[in-house]
């Protein structure tokens, strides 16, 4: 199998962390440079028509796009350690927090970045006003999660899961790019630092 990745990009990083957590060794990593538009070439568009990274290419040539779909596929092949939940309650909790993090934190932070940051001007049809409004929304969410994370090591089901990978990779990458200072958010900072200390996050 081959995984198309890109240095610093948070979506493929989630897959690389997932692979490291599961100690999967038979996946070749191919790095594309987004800055040089290597993800927009006709060759890569044959693999990923939407020009997005990551893409997993199976040994039979089939392609799986979308970070979570790729991780779910790998979870089926390598069930241990479990990262999407085992009991009905765990599965629901992890899915719930994954979705809440995605919609309440990651998306507003991502829009805040993509619609306001000069580096994104070639990749996004930027609307500065929308970006700033999304950034404000993200700040409200960060305040909510600061309370939510009090006393919690992990966001879902009292165990490390895919929801933590989604939360911490998004926060590490997007909070800084939105120029938001979370130093005074003690619970949030402790949570991020705790999860990010895992060896898989050194990628």
Ligand X SMILES: N[C@@H](CCC(=O)N[C@@H](CS)C(=O)NCC(=O)O)C(=O)O
Q: Which is nearer to ligand X, 15 or 195 (CB)?
A: 15
Give the footprint of ligand X on residues 14-43 (CB under 6 A): 34, 39
Q: Give the nearest distance from C-beta 35 to ligand X in angstroms.
A: 10
Q: Give the nearest distance from C-beta 172 to ligand X in angstroms.
A: 13
Q: Which is nearer to ligand X, 6 or 149 (CB)?
A: 6
Query: Which one of residues 31, 51, 126, 187 is an interface residue with ligand X (CB under 6 A)?
Result: 51
Q: Which one of 48-56, 95-103, 147-155, 163-171 is the stretch in contact with ligand X (CB under 6 A)?
A: 48-56
Give the footprint of ligand X on residues 96-125 (CB under 6 A): 123
Q: Which is nearer to ligand X, 130 or 189 (CB)?
A: 130
Query: Which one of residues 1, 27, 30, 52 is an interface residue with ligand X (CB under 6 A)?
Result: 52
Query: Which one of residues 38, 66, 90, 146 is an interface residue with ligand X (CB under 6 A)?
Result: 66
Whether 120 contacts 126, CB under 8 Å: yes
Query: Which one of residues 3, 4, 5, 9 is an interface residue with ligand X (CB under 6 A)?
Result: 9
178 binds ligand X (CB under 6 A): no
What number of chain residues touch ligand X (CB under 6 A)?
A: 12
Q: Give the nearest distance from C-beta 92 to ligand X in angstroms.
A: 21
Per-residue exposure over 120-151, b if at least 16 CB sit within 10 Å of its own CB, e if not: eeeeeebeeeebeebbebbbebbeebbeebee
Q: What residues contact residue 171 under an 8 Å CB cut-off, 6+ apart?
A: 105, 109, 182, 188, 192
Q: Where are the beta strands (DSSP E) in 38-169?
A: 55-57, 63-65
Which residue, among 79, 61, 78, has the nearest Cα to 2 in the 3D structure? 61
The encoded tokens of residue 128 equal: 């500065």
Q: Which is nearer to ligand X, 67 or 134 (CB)?
A: 67
Whether 138 contacts 112, CB under 8 Å: yes
Q: Which is nearer to ligand X, 71 or 149 (CB)?
A: 71
Which residue, among 138, 114, 135, 108, has the nearest Cα to 126 in the 3D structure? 114
Within 10 A of 195 (CB to CB), how many other CB atoms are there? 22
The encoded tokens of residue 85 equal: 């939940």
Residues within the interface to ligand X (CB under 6 A):
9-11, 34, 39, 51-54, 66-67, 123
């Amino acid at each position: 199998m081959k995984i198309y990745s890109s240095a610093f990009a948070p979506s493929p990083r989630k897959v690389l962390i997932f692979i490291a957590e599961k100690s999967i060794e038979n996946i070749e990593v191919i790095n594309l440079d987004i800055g040089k538009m290597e993800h927009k070439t006709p060759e890569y568009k044959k693999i990923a028509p939407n020009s997005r990274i990551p893409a997993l290419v199976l040994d039979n040539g089939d392609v799986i796009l979308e970070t979570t779909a790729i991780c779910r596929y790998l979870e089926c092949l390598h069930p241990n350690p479990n990262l999407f939940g085992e009991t009905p309650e765990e599965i629901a909790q992890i899915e719930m927090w994954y979705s809440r993090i995605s919609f309440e934190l990651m998306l507003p932070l991502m829009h805040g970045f993509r619609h306001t940051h000069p580096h994104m001007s070639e990749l996004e049809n930027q609307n500065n006003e929308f970006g700033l409004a999304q950034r404000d929304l993200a700040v409200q969410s960060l305040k909510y999660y600061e309370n939510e994370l009090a006393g919690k090591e992990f966001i879902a089901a009292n165990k490390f899961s895919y929801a933590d990978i989604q939360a911490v990779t998004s926060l590490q990458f997007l909070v800084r790019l939105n120029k938001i200072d979370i130093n005074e958010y003690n619970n949030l900072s402790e949570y991020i630092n705790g999860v990010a200390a895992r060896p898989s996050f050194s990628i």
